[in-house]
Structure 1
Amino acid sequence: MNQLTHPDLYYPFPSHINKYIDVLEAHDLEWVLRFNLLANESSYQRFCKSKFFFLAASAYPDSNFEELKIAHDWLSWVFIWDDQCDLSELKKQPEILKNFHKRYLEILNGAEVISQDTLFSHALIDLRKRTLQKASLKWFKHFVNYLEDYFCGCVQEANNRAKGIVPDVNTYIKIRRSSVGVYAVLALAEFCNQFMIPDVLRNHYLVKKLELITIDIISWSNDIFSASREIASGDVHNLVFVLHYHNQISLEEATKQVAEIHDIEVRSLLSLESFLPSFGKELDIDIAKYISGMHSWIRGNFDWYSHSFRYHNSEMLKLTEFKE
């Protein structure tokens, strides 16, 4: 299919870039090659063109270098695994995906490596160790829960592909909020900025609403920029395609509608922020940091699209060899 035109999107948040971006770029391939996560040429080329170092430096602009490296490696792991879920033969094998995810969660919760473990498992053991050298176990448990939610979203998408289902709009939105993985990467903003929001804020209904709006903003911008690739590859998990399919409108009109939904959500985020009450001096500082992290991810993710070639082709990936 022809490349869809990307409409202008509303972004009132300023662009920032981490001062360590050049050093991070030099590190870009080091970790993934050490664990052989790019085991075939298509995966290697795709990773290089994606420029995840730019995404990490844009999404976590104030991070120290060691935390930034770890966050970058988490992003790399998630995106490489996401490609396996979306673009390899695993895309229609939900039960096999469940088994992989079950083992990954065991690893993240402290299980020892065994001979049957995959390259992805070995990489997770390294990430867990390095992360816990910098973060509390309590924060890490929150992070693992968010990864579990992401894994569930990937399985739901695979189940739809296997059954040939195009989810309705409401069902798709629910799945997308999990499969996009934003809860986990927002938690990395806490890690990178060396703080953890207390439970009284994490569980507050207004904070949860801010998180949900942020997730939707990032989801809909991603769906706009990835629509051409995903539709060409036959994937139905994109709001542009779902609106096109169920509302029987053109892809161009569907893209325009998704852009309008995106911009409404950005304005809703700003409006909700203006109505936040004071939680007290210390908690207000924490929530300000957390909201700043949301803004950085929203803007950094958008800026990344103009530097990355991740969504410029629809090639099918070979399944990565999982054994060492």
Structure 2
Amino acid sequence: MSTTGVEISLLKRQAYLIALPVTLLAVVLTLALDMRHGDDPFSFNQVALPLLACALLGLTLLLYLRTVPLRWIEHGFFLVAAATFLAKFGSLALPASLPVPDAEVAQVYIWAPFVYLLAFLIYRLQEALKRSLLIYGLSVLPGLWAVVAVGPQSLGSLTRLTEFYLASGLWLAMLYVLGSLKTQLFQLQTRFGEMERLAHQDTLTGLANRRRMEARLAQQAEQFQQYGLCWAVILFDIDDFKRVNDLYGHERGDFVLRETARLMQYELRGSDQIARWGGEEFLILAGHTDLVHARALAERLRVLLARHTFGEAGTITASFGVAAYRDGESVSALMQRADEALYRAKHAAKNRVEVALTPGEPLNLPPLHNPFAARLPTTDPQLCEETSAWLEQFGLGPGNAHARTAFAAGFVGLAAALHPRACRAALRLTADWYSLMFLHDDRCDSSGIGRDPARLQSLVDRLLSVFQGGTLRPDDEPFAHALADVRGRLLTWGGPTWFAELTGEVRAYLEALSWEAANRASGSVPTLADYLHMRPITAGLQIDGAFLEVMDGVRLPRAVRDHPQVRQLAVHADRAVCWSNDILSLEKELQDGDVHNLIPVLMHARRLSQQAALDEAARMYHHEVEQFLAGEQALPTFGEDEDEQLREYARLLRARVGGILAWSHHSSRYQVGDLVS
């Protein structure tokens, strides 16, 4: 059965689920009233209505239990209605009942249109007409019998009887005309739908064609401005396709195109859309997907295609170009970047994935020395699955299960690197929190909401309300529901006093993102002084500092924590983290057109070239590392227990600097190669 047929069947079932019980109730009430006021226990109503009620009850039960096809229920409903009408009409024509007054005859006349209408609702046009004419013909017999046997006034006046038969005939004619119009309209809609399908569908592969995909791209760009959800395009081209046609013929080439379309459709998520862009080129619109995950998706598709055997043509490969949409960018500009990336893949070696570059000078990232380097701890697969399932529960992260687990694994690994003393439950809670922070930070960096201070501030106010225990509303986004969940777990884990301190840091972090949005909206590059102050806050490092107390069990007395040298040690560690992260994430943020990065700030403040700013950022990173090492050696003493806690605190700060660098080196989030040493 077609999708339309299924929908109509469901609508009919819902209608009968209302109509049958209502009709049953009406019959029962009529019977009750008749039994109360009627004198003859053998009248038609008191004999026929119980039978009618039983029939309707049986049909209703069969409909609810779904034990028989819906078509049988429809047949039964019509037969019961028609039989009741004819039986009632026939009972009036019995010799004992004649003559019958107009009022009682009218009670039968009004049900005739219902029977005819039911026939045209249930059956096809010609079948409905045949059944209705049969009912009409049978209804004529009692009238003729009564007139012949008793006289013209037997069933009311002869005029009323004649009007009834004429009106019934008119009803049949109108229903037939309306049914014919409905049939013709349905045929026109079907033809129009087929014409529209042919206009927007590639006839060879069954995929959307270029015209349909161009409309979808425009819609996606509009939705980005509304909801701020990231998306990307993947343009790929079958390598050496002309050779397939030349060696095996165009029929085999058509098979390769159809099979490629089938493979892609099977592998893609429900939210992804694919079209044949032209010739042997295909385009994928990957919704809710940033550049990193779009690249991973393209790589997975490349491998899938390369491993598949295309019958006589053997194996084929394809080259892929990936581009993520940037706020304010036209669809044509996006497609041009994807096309340029595909061109590079074609001319590099084919069978590869290339990501669209940002216009401008090429990046030559300086090496970063990591004196705190350590092997990343082995990631617990079960923890990754749990965080992935938690994200899926709230509809967050990549839609594909494999990609979502890989996404979650990154934050489980980061939590383990930054919190080496944390127990398993603490790591799970920290990984969930990190995934939320990164998701929110990314959408603020790359989406429309990150350039709209009013909208973002409204969202910040709502998220803060939720984090402080406010009641969730039906219109709250999935992110707010996830935040409410992790908020309850953090409160239970750390207690009210610690949670109050954490809430202050979360407020500062969310409001710092509003500061970034105000800069984007005004087209302003922050001053160097403002950026140096705000960057550790926008990185959420103060939040992570609070985590050290309850996740790692390092509880510095306030006098120790607030000592100028201890505070300065944390400042050096935080700045080292921020400057290294800005260097590693520069290409990603340039893709998004964001200026909240140390390199663009230095370029603007000191009139440096991009490369000179990169080198200066690396110098600043190494300076902070040197200051941290010197500060660590010069820490004052506070007592045996306090000094042990302080040494552990310094080790955790080391883990923060070195762990984030090591994580960045291994994470798919930043493609840094051998940059970190």
- Pair in the same fold by TM > 0.5: yes
2:585 match: secondary structure: helix
2:463 alignment partner in structure 1: 104
Are the counterparts in 1 of residues 444 and 450 from structure 2 also a CA contact under 8 Å?
A: yes
How many Å apart are 1:18 and its aligned residue? Answer: 3.9
1:227 alignment partner in structure 2: 586
> CA deviation digits over 1:42-65, x for unaligned, max 9?
xx6797398222211211122210
- How does 1:241-320 map onto structure 2 within 5 Å? 241-311=600-670
Residue 203 to residue 103, structure 1, CA distance change in 2 (3 Å): farther
Query: Amino acid of the residue matched to residue 390 of structure 2?
Result: W
Query: Amino acid of the residue matched to residue 115 of structure 1?
Result: P
1:10 alignment partner in structure 2: 369
Which whole-Å CA distance do the structure 1 matches of 2:463 and 2:652 have between them?
A: 27
How many Å apart are 1:7 and its aligned residue? Answer: 1.8
1:157 match: secondary structure: helix
Equivalent in 493, 498, 506 of residue 134 of structure 1: 493
1:180 alignment partner in structure 2: 539
2:300 alignment partner in structure 1: none
Which whole-Å CA distance do the structure 2 matches of 1:113 and 1:22 have between them?
A: 32
Which whole-Å CA distance do the structure 2 matches of 1:220 and 1:111 have between them?
A: 36
- How does 1:46-85 map onto structure 2 within 5 Å? 48=407, 51-85=410-444
Which whole-Å CA distance do the structure 2 matches of 1:175 and 1:213 have between them?
A: 14
Residue 158 to residue 128, structure 1, CA distance change in 2 (3 Å): same
Are the counterparts in 2 of residues 97 and 155 from structure 1 also a CA contact under 8 Å?
A: yes
Are the counterparts in 1 of residues 573 and 628 from structure 2 also a CA contact under 8 Å?
A: yes
> CA deviation digits over 1:153-208, x for unaligned, max 9?
11111100000001221122222122111111222222221343332233222222
1:210 alignment partner in structure 2: 569
State yes or no: 1:236 paired with 2:236: no
How many Å apart are 1:40 and its aligned residue? Answer: 6.1
1:133 match: secondary structure: helix
Residue 49 to residue 118, structure 1, CA distance change in 2 (3 Å): closer
Which whole-Å CA distance do the structure 1 matches of 2:537 and 2:405 have between them?
A: 24
1:319 alignment partner in structure 2: none
Query: Amino acid of the residue matched to residue 424 of structure 2?
Result: F
Residue 45 to residue 135, structure 1, CA distance change in 2 (3 Å): closer
Count of equivalent residues: 311
**Seq. identity, %:** 30
Which whole-Å CA distance do the structure 1 matches of 2:447 and 2:405 have between them?
A: 13
How many Å apart are 1:130 and its aligned residue? Answer: 1.5
Residue 145 to residue 97, structure 1, CA distance change in 2 (3 Å): same
1:62 match: secondary structure: coil
1:29 match: secondary structure: helix
1:317 alignment partner in structure 2: none
Which whole-Å CA distance do the structure 2 matches of 1:288 and 1:62 have between them?
A: 14
Residue 127 to residue 172, structure 1, CA distance change in 2 (3 Å): same
1:67 match: secondary structure: helix
How many Å apart are 1:76 and its aligned residue? Answer: 0.5
* More RCO (CA 8 Å, sep 6+): 1
Query: Amino acid of the residue matched to residue 242 of structure 1?
Result: V
Which whole-Å CA distance do the structure 1 matches of 2:542 and 2:518 have between them?
A: 22
How many Å apart are 1:16 and its aligned residue? Answer: 4.7
Deviates more, 1:3-12 or 1:123-132: 3-12
2:384 alignment partner in structure 1: 25
> CA deviation digits over 1:112-168, x for unaligned, max 9?
323333222211221122122221222222222111111121111110000000122
Deviates more, 1:253-262 or 1:240-249: 240-249
Which whole-Å CA distance do the structure 2 matches of 1:18 and 1:145 have between them?
A: 31
Query: Amino acid of the residue matched to residue 624 of structure 2?
Result: E
Normalised to the residue count of structure 2, the TM-score between the two structures is 0.44
- Where structure 1 has 5 or more consecutive residues not aligned to the other structure, the ranges are 313-324
Deviates more, 1:60-69 or 1:4-13: 4-13
- How does 1:105-124 map onto structure 2 within 5 Å? 105-124=464-483
Are the counterparts in 2 of residues 50 and 309 from structure 1 also a CA contact under 8 Å?
A: no
- How does 1:34-49 map onto structure 2 within 5 Å? 34-38=393-397, 48=407
Aligned Cα root-mean-square deviation (Å)? 2.3
How many Å apart are 1:20 and its aligned residue? Answer: 5.3
How many Å apart are 1:19 and its aligned residue? Answer: 5.3
- Which structure has greater strand proportion? 2
Query: Amino acid of the residue matched to residue 285 of structure 1?
Result: E
1:91 alignment partner in structure 2: 450
Are the counterparts in 1 of residues 397 and 407 from structure 2 also a CA contact under 8 Å?
A: no
Deviates more, 1:134-143 or 1:108-117: 108-117
Deviates more, 1:292-301 or 1:172-181: 172-181
Equivalent in 548, 562, 567 of residue 189 of structure 1: 548
Query: Amino acid of the residue matched to residue 72 of structure 1?
Result: A
Are the counterparts in 2 of residues 50 and 310 from structure 1 also a CA contact under 8 Å?
A: no
- How does 1:142-161 map onto structure 2 within 5 Å? 142-161=501-520
Deviates more, 1:256-265 or 1:130-139: 130-139
Normalised to the residue count of structure 1, the TM-score between the two structures is 0.88
Are the counterparts in 2 of residues 108 and 124 from structure 1 also a CA contact under 8 Å?
A: yes
Which whole-Å CA distance do the structure 2 matches of 1:59 and 1:232 have between them?
A: 28
1:252 match: secondary structure: helix
Q: Would you identify which runs of 4 or more consecutive aligned residues in structure 1 move more than 6 Å?
A: 44-47
Are the counterparts in 2 of residues 176 and 219 from structure 1 also a CA contact under 8 Å?
A: yes
Residue 201 to residue 95, structure 1, CA distance change in 2 (3 Å): farther
State yes or no: 1:170 paired with 2:529: yes
Residue 3 to residue 299, structure 1, CA distance change in 2 (3 Å): farther
